[in-house]
Copies of this chain bind each other. A is one copy, B any other.
Amino acid sequence: MVKVKKENQPARLKIIQTAFDLFHKQGVNATSVDEILEKSQAGKSQFYYYFKNKEDLVHSVLMFFYGQLKNNELPINNKIESWKDLERWFYNFVGMQKAMNCDRGCPIGTIGSELVTGQDLIRQDIKLIFEFTRNSLSRFFHGLKVKGELKDSVDPDVLADFCFTVMQGGLLVAKINRESDIFENSIQQALAYLKSLAK
């Protein structure tokens, strides 16, 4: 009987989840390893047993998030199959942000904003996550196109880019303003445009 690598490492998981939350709240650079350990009730040797260094933790956090995203375990539903789903997708971000008093932006965008030249491993992780989300959007618009429900001139991938940009911009602006009006207005306009492309 081949023993599968044990995947039950509660301390490791707790560290990752705590780190994710702190990174989301205050960014990577403002979060020390010690703070993560204190909040996750873990010791230093646990940390450096599970992670090579802080950068490796950031990587692990992103991979953990990516896993949840792929398995649809996140509050944001990325299965977009109708206009209604797309609306829900947009407004879910608003809802999540409001639930946090508009104190935080996109957890991934926040990490991405701190990237500097040379941090290419982390950058690739984030690109992977972004790509997955963009693909969900693309698939929806491609589907519409195949069904002949979109004007011939439109490129489904470009529409996905557009949605993604509005989402990221909206989350950032809402965080800075500590209120989501601008975000909501932007979503409204984006949806009005997209629907105008239907035929």
Report the nearest B residue to A112, measured CB to CB. Answer: B176
Q: State the oligomeric state as a number of copies.
A: 2
Kindly specify which of A5-13, A47-55, A158-166 makes contact with the partner chain: A158-166
| B123 near A178: Cβ-Cβ < 8 Å | yes
Bound-state CA distance A168–B176 (Å) is 11
Taking residues whose C-beta sits less than 8 angstroms from the other chain, chain A's interface range is 35 or more
Bound-state CA distance A177–B58 (Å) is 18
A30 CB within 8 Å of chain B: yes
A65 CB within 8 Å of chain B: no
Scan A138-177; emit 1 where CB is below 8 A from any B CB, else 0. Answer: 0000000000000000000111011011111110110111
Contacts of A176 in B (CB 8 A): 109, 112-113, 115, 123, 126-127, 130
A98 CB within 8 Å of chain B: no
Contacts of A193 in B (CB 8 A): 189-190, 192-193, 196
Known: A112-B172, A115-B176, A162-B185. 10 other contacts (CB 8 A): A29-B29, A30-B116, A113-B172, A114-B114, A159-B189, A165-B166, A165-B170, A165-B173, A165-B183, A166-B169
Q: List 14 A-B contacts (CB under 8 A).
A: A25-B116, A27-B27, A27-B113, A112-B176, A123-B176, A130-B173, A134-B182, A158-B185, A161-B182, A165-B166, A165-B169, A165-B182, A168-B168, A193-B196
